[in-house]
Chains A and B, each alone.
Chain A
């Protein structure tokens, strides 16, 4: 079925209220920490208090004698018995050498490299006993100098023997010679230095896991707050523990948000699985918030220099970018791909910039590993490009809208100079709609009204593009991916016509149980209530790559569509037999099979029953049953895009910046459930505006201690930090998946930070502030105003 037929089906485009809500609203959700297993013990990890130190000795004598202690493991117990945590993407440096991949041990062996690095695992009968024993573990450290800032990394004490200068890789894309030649001929060059501040993901459910082992069946089970249980199992079994996959079941039950931070295979997950067999007990571990600040993979942390060459009319001729990316102390699961494949390839944005050259240096520092966080590389690209584009406009005396309109891509497909081919879009359409919705015509009047109150008003634009549903597997493989990028879906039609769908995608807030049910109900002409969606269990779902990168509907949904194609094909054969017609003459719509040119019909329910009670059935040609599985590997990324317009009011006396209006117009292609899509946009916007105004992860530059290690120190966005957002969409359906969808999960977080900072800069132009980086906290804004005086 094609995307245009699909979008006209019933249930598609309907704001169906969510099937999952009742359990969440009544306290019946089952998050990992809500689950208690028989014979359960509790684990606590002893963590490094130092950012960088050699471990001289560990004395467990006192701790092991504490009440309730079952066992304590340290690096010595695992050394040589298992691999380290793997990195899922190989980046090759410009000199042809592979990136430096130092070992990432499950428990520290000889050395700790960031505050929070796990040194020992204490298992006891109760949580209190485990905590008490953990405090009695004596570790003697030889403290080394720490380096936390990416700009200091090359001069810092080496973290790893394999990377003596702390350099992980140097990677580049684009034609440097052509770019340099274009710069030589340019009428104008605009230059900008930018810092993309480090963030802590802070999903509201802290990480948690329960490791289990059954000696009788030799089977392991891991309950874990995770976004992709099959990937977790694959990485853990094949790369770390060397276990056969059929003996390991990973279950990600209700998961309280992820935003990327729960994609990765973490050391604790492996340690619990392994230790469950060693002690022959079930072991639960629940991360405390302060522990999750230290140990969840962080996001962003780039320092960049960008230059744009333009002709006399402001047409972009070439762009040059250098970025230093902070990897943290170890390479997390997809860390290496974030500042390269997922970043530099997006730097063409929505513009016809014919030449782009990007060079990226990645560095190890004594900080928590940095990996994908809502947007993963694309927010970093968008922040850089959209800041640079607005600056280009200001430098040339052009409006932020005008400089964009002069450079917008206007025909598709469009091949960028940084590898991607955009299939479809309407960037001007988004801009026009956003400008109308934002009432840009009224801006000058509002600015005057603000000025009358002593406040500075500014407007900021951002026209972002993102690439979702990373694919296809073979090209990604050629670029260094060590995993497939397809998705799997199984559609099981039951004898009475109700359906269970098994998807490799995972919902941790996105509402798949509803959206995917709408897709199936629409195709089969049945009620949404007749479809249940199962996800998050390697024991029930055939396979899956999980949920990240806004891929679920476009890749996971497409796999379900393929399975539905197979269901429809087989069901038509059964219907043809029942109606004594030829297969080719059977048509299916609204849950009914009919024969062309006749009034014969059978319902979907009749066909389902016949498939399982095959008395009147072509058994010689067709198997009984109606249960199909499909795998879908996309032929290209999808490319959601949009224009965001932000208006801020800055109080120059205090530096307080208030977002007064925020308008977002996105092109997500086909929308299945507008209510859910709007919710995704709202959440993304708050995370993006949060980065721009509030959030900042800070390590002490000397000691490497995390200074923002709790909700008391790290400013999480709260309800009264925001106005009501105005959002809308346009639709150019994706041309290469059967739904026409593009994905909406990350857009808000990608597009909003530069809109906010451009607005702040616009507001501060009059007081002489030319440059400013996130976050626009009152103290930083006030200091910028004072410095400009």
Chain B
């Protein structure tokens, strides 16, 4: 079946079997491999992307379900000249990443959190990050990064 999407501002039409997941379209058809797969039970959040303004787990959605949607992946977050989004920059500044595998999903969730909960404090941010698992950082610097990214997004 044909699925039409707008991914990172560009129109994309893919012809895929009906059981194809959104993450498969992104990684395998559009070669956007920054969206990762870390589990098979929609628990880890490494595959998080933004669909029509809200974060979703792309491993848990059929491509067919998001036909006609606008999708932003980690590759679409930085400016065209390569300058990082304030949240990406905050993760670097606060050492909010180590191996980098959960990072892309973590940053997409963080952007979503700060978009929809611009006043969230540290405790609330910890709760809102429940859907993203990181095995490296112990979360402390991720939380720090989200707090900084929140402030930098507000002033950007």
Report A's interface with B, CB cutoff 8 A: 15, 17-18, 20-31, 33-34, 128, 202-206, 254-257, 259, 288-290, 508-511, 675-676, 678-679, 681-687, 710-712, 716-720, 722, 724-725, 748
A586 to B83 Cα, complex, angstroms: 44
A17 and B43 contact, CB distance less than 8 A: no
* Chain B residue contacts of A21, Cβ below 8 A: 91-92, 97, 100
A684 to B41 Cα, complex, angstroms: 25
Query: Within the complex, which residue of B43, B98, B129, B130 is in contact with A683, where a contact is CB–CB below 8 Å?
Result: B98
Query: Within the complex, which residue of A15, A23, A687 is in contact with B135, where a contact is CB–CB below 8 Å?
Result: A687
Known A-B contacts: A205-B101, A257-B136, A710-B43. Give 19 more (CB < 8 A). A17-B92, A24-B97, A25-B74, A27-B74, A27-B75, A28-B34, A31-B36, A33-B33, A34-B27, A288-B40, A289-B41, A510-B98, A679-B95, A683-B138, A687-B138, A710-B39, A717-B139, A719-B142, A722-B139
Most chain B C-beta atoms within 10 Å of own C-beta, residue among A23, A30, A717: A717
Query: Within the complex, which residue of B34, B44, B101, B138 is in contact with A722, where a contact is CB–CB below 8 Å?
Result: B138
Sampled A-B contacts (5; CB under 8 Å): A128-B17, A204-B99, A206-B38, A679-B138, A719-B142
Q: Which residue of A lies closest to B91 (CB)?
A: A25
Query: Within the complex, which residue of B35, B74, B99, B127 is in contact with A205, where a contact is CB–CB below 8 Å?
Result: B99
Q: Is B12's beta carbon under 8 Å from chain A?
A: no
A177 to chain B, nearest CB (A): 45
Whether A24 touches B103, Cβ cut-off 8 Å, given contacts A202-B135, A257-B98, A511-B98, is yes
Q: Is B88's beta carbon under 8 Å from chain A?
A: yes
A682 and B137 contact, CB distance less than 8 A: yes
A25 and B84 contact, CB distance less than 8 A: yes
The proximity string for B residues 33-55 relative to A, scoring 1 for CB distances below 8 Å and 0 otherwise, is 11111111101101000000000
A719 and B126 contact, CB distance less than 8 A: yes
* Chain B residue contacts of A724, Cβ below 8 A: 122, 140, 143
B87 to chain A, nearest CB (A): 9
Dominant SS at the B interface? loop
Whether A289 touches B139, Cβ cut-off 8 Å, given contacts A34-B33, A256-B99, is no
* Chain A residue contacts of B74, Cβ below 8 A: 25-27
* Chain A residue contacts of B33, Cβ below 8 A: 27, 30-31, 33-34
Q: Is B93's beta carbon under 8 Å from chain A?
A: yes
Q: Is B7's beta carbon under 8 Å from chain A?
A: no
A671 to chain B, nearest CB (A): 14
B143 and A27 contact, CB distance less than 8 A: no
* Chain B residue contacts of A722, Cβ below 8 A: 126, 138-140
B38 and A205 contact, CB distance less than 8 A: yes
* Chain A residue contacts of B135, Cβ below 8 A: 202-204, 257, 259, 683, 687, 716
The count of A-to-B residue pairs whose CB atoms sit within 8 angstroms is 183
Most chain A C-beta atoms within 10 Å of own C-beta, residue among B35, B78, B91, B100: B100
* Chain B residue contacts of A682, Cβ below 8 A: 137-141
A66 to chain B, nearest CB (A): 16
A644 to chain B, nearest CB (A): 14
The proximity string for B residues 17-34 relative to A, scoring 1 for CB distances below 8 Å and 0 otherwise, is 100000000010000111
Report B's interface with A, CB cutoff 8 A: 17, 27, 32-41, 43-44, 46, 73-75, 77-78, 82, 84, 88, 91-93, 95, 97-104, 107, 122-123, 125-127, 129-130, 132-143
Query: Within the complex, which residue of A128, A202, A203, A679 is in contact with B137, where a contact is CB–CB below 8 Å?
Result: A679
A710 and B84 contact, CB distance less than 8 A: no
* Chain A residue contacts of B17, Cβ below 8 A: 128
B138 and A725 contact, CB distance less than 8 A: yes
A690 to chain B, nearest CB (A): 9
Q: Which residue of A lies closest to B35 (CB)?
A: A27
* Chain B residue contacts of A288, Cβ below 8 A: 40
* Chain B residue contacts of A15, Cβ below 8 A: 95
A685 to B82 Cα, complex, angstroms: 35
A206 to B99 Cα, complex, angstroms: 13
Query: Within the complex, which residue of B34, B95, B129 is in contact with A18, where a contact is CB–CB below 8 Å?
Result: B95
B104 and A27 contact, CB distance less than 8 A: yes
B88 and A26 contact, CB distance less than 8 A: yes
A289 to B142 Cα, complex, angstroms: 23
A710 and B101 contact, CB distance less than 8 A: no
A437 to chain B, nearest CB (A): 15
Whether A256 touches B84, Cβ cut-off 8 Å, given contacts A22-B92, A509-B136, is no
A589 to B107 Cα, complex, angstroms: 42
A80 to chain B, nearest CB (A): 36
* Chain B residue contacts of A26, Cβ below 8 A: 34, 74-75, 77-78, 82, 84, 88
B29 to chain A, nearest CB (A): 12
A19 to B129 Cα, complex, angstroms: 26
* Chain A residue contacts of B141, Cβ below 8 A: 678-679, 682
* Chain A residue contacts of B36, Cβ below 8 A: 31, 204-205, 256
Q: Which residue of B lies closest to A35 (CB)?
A: B33
A764 to chain B, nearest CB (A): 26
* Chain A residue contacts of B97, Cβ below 8 A: 21, 24-25
Query: Within the complex, which residue of A17, A683, A712, A718 is in contact with B136, where a contact is CB–CB below 8 Å?
Result: A683
Whether A676 touches B100, Cβ cut-off 8 Å, given contacts A22-B84, A720-B130, is no
Q: Which residue of B lies closest to A225 (CB)?
A: B101
A710 to B125 Cα, complex, angstroms: 25
Most chain A C-beta atoms within 10 Å of own C-beta, residue among B84, B88, B135, B141: B135
Query: Within the complex, which residue of B32, B40, B143 is in contact with A719, where a contact is CB–CB below 8 Å?
Result: B143
B24 to chain A, nearest CB (A): 9
B55 to chain A, nearest CB (A): 15
A720 to B95 Cα, complex, angstroms: 19
Q: Which residue of A lies closest to B107 (CB)?
A: A25
A711 to B40 Cα, complex, angstroms: 9
A511 to B95 Cα, complex, angstroms: 10
A204 and B102 contact, CB distance less than 8 A: yes
B95 and A509 contact, CB distance less than 8 A: no
Whether A256 touches B40, Cβ cut-off 8 Å, given contacts A25-B88, A29-B34, A725-B140, is no
Query: Within the complex, which residue of A27, A685, A712, A718 is in contact with B130, where a contact is CB–CB below 8 Å?
Result: A718
Top 3 A-B pairs, shortest CB-CB distance: A27-B34, A256-B101, A24-B100
Most chain B C-beta atoms within 10 Å of own C-beta, residue among A31, A509, A712: A509
* Chain B residue contacts of A25, Cβ below 8 A: 74, 84, 88, 91-92, 97, 100, 103-104, 107
A506 to chain B, nearest CB (A): 11
Query: Within the complex, which residue of B34, B99, B107 is in contact with A203, where a contact is CB–CB below 8 Å?
Result: B99
A509 to B134 Cα, complex, angstroms: 12
A676 and B95 contact, CB distance less than 8 A: yes
